[in-house]
């Protein structure tokens, strides 16, 4: 098969029905003897609400909802997919075995025998998964690839830790890449620094059917903020340079939706107005690998993002891992 470019054919997203406002969370934490406030959460993060999956909902269920919306947008069926790549830190099964992507393949009714696997790079997972999909298509191995970011972070939140439990939510976003004669993914830059793995992690380990140590998310907020601001600016410029572009040529910045202050800092350092930043963090908080495709889908369905516009997607998270992509939509 000859080489191809890849382009975005369709997007989709899904948020669970259970919506908790900051005040809902404040009231819930008060029962645990913890004090916080809507103003405290909003001022420090920009978050106003988040969505939590029902006890019966798995990561694969959220992924399937987003995937179906993306299939509809691309006007193709699940049987047309050659590959499903799912980025998640909260797989259906312990150890990610079997992969949640395989579960999604079955639940979607996609053809058995098509490829499927998971990617783990936490909040940078979607950037990593997108790069793999693009490489497979460019190499001529596949023509239609579904890339999904899906999380149920509510399952790993410690509701005795107000510094983390107010920041995260559940959700899913999906993108379909297809082979094209015209380039859509113009450049991708990926990085990691394992020496920083302890500042954002789930330190517990599986042992003899149980968990050894802490099975909840832990975070050094100040260290994460400082590192995130630094690497996001660097990787944004790197991806733009690879694409032969400058910040002023971008139509939209679509950052990982973790913290409004990090997004504002990145935009400011790139000389971009916040009017050109897709911001959805207020509604769903930090949904890790799902946050970029969620924001992308919201931007497209709202009519803000139009065909032929240039987008910069970027994310950073535990690992420590980060990445960025320049896209002509």
Which of the residues are catalytic? 123, 256, 286
3-state secondary structure the chain: CCCCEEEEEEEEEECCCEEEEHHHHHHHHHCCCCCCCHHHHHHHHCCCEEEECCCCCCHHHHHHHHHHHHHHHHCCCHHHCCEEEEECCCCCCHHHCCCHHHHHHHHHCCCCCCEEEEECCHHHHHHHHHHHHHHHHHCCCCCEEEEEEEEEHHHHCCCCCHHHHCCECEEEEEEEEEEECCCCEEEEEEEECHHHHHHEECCCEEECCEEECCCCCEECHHHHHHHHHHHHHHHHHHHHHHHCCCHHHCCEEEECCCCHHHHHHHHHHCCCCHHHECCCHHHHCECHHHHHHHHHHHHHHCCCCCCCCEEEEEEEECCCEEEEEEEEC
């Amino acid at each position: 098969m000859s080489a191809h470019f890849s382009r975005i054919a369709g997007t989709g997203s899904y948020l669970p029905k259970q919506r908790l406002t900051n005040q809902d969370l404040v009231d819930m934490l008060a029962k645990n003897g913890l004090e916080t406030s809507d103003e405290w959460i909003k001022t420090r993060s920009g978050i106003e609400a988040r969505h939590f999956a029902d006890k019966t909902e798995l990561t694969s269920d959220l992924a399937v909802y987003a995937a179906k919306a993306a299939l509809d947008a691309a006007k193709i069926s699940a049987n047309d997919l050659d590959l499903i790549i799912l980025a998640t830190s909260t797989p259906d099964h312990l150890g990610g075995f079997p992969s949640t992507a395989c579960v999604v393949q079955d639940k979607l009714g996609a053809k058995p025998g098509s490829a499927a696997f998971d990617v783990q790079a936490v909040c940078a997972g979607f950037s990593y998964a997108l790069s793999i999909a693009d490489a497979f298509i460019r190499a001529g191995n596949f023509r239609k690839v579904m890339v999904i970011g899906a999380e149920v972070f509510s399952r790993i939140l410690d509701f005795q830790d107000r510094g983390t439990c107010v920041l995260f939510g559940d959700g899913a976003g999906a993108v379909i890449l297809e082979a094209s004669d015209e380039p859509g993914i113009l450049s991708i830059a990926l990085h990691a620094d394992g020496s920083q793995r302890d500042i954002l992690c789930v330190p517990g380990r599986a042992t003899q059917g149980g968990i050894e140590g802490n099975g909840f998310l832990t975070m050094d907020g100040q260290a994460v903020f400082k590192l995130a601001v630094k690497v996001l600016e660097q990787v944004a410029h790197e991806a733009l340079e690879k694409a032969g572009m400058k910040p002023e040529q971008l139509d939209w910045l679509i950052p990982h939706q973790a913290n409004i202050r990090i997004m504002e800092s990145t935009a400011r350092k790139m000389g971009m107005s916040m009017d050109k930043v897709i911001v959805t963090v207020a509604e769903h908080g930090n949904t890790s690998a799902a946050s970029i495709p969620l924001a992308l889908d919201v931007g497209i369905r709202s009519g803000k993002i139009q065909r032929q516009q240039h987008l910069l997607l970027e994310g950073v998270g535990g690992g420590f891992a980060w990445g960025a992509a320049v896209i002509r939509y």
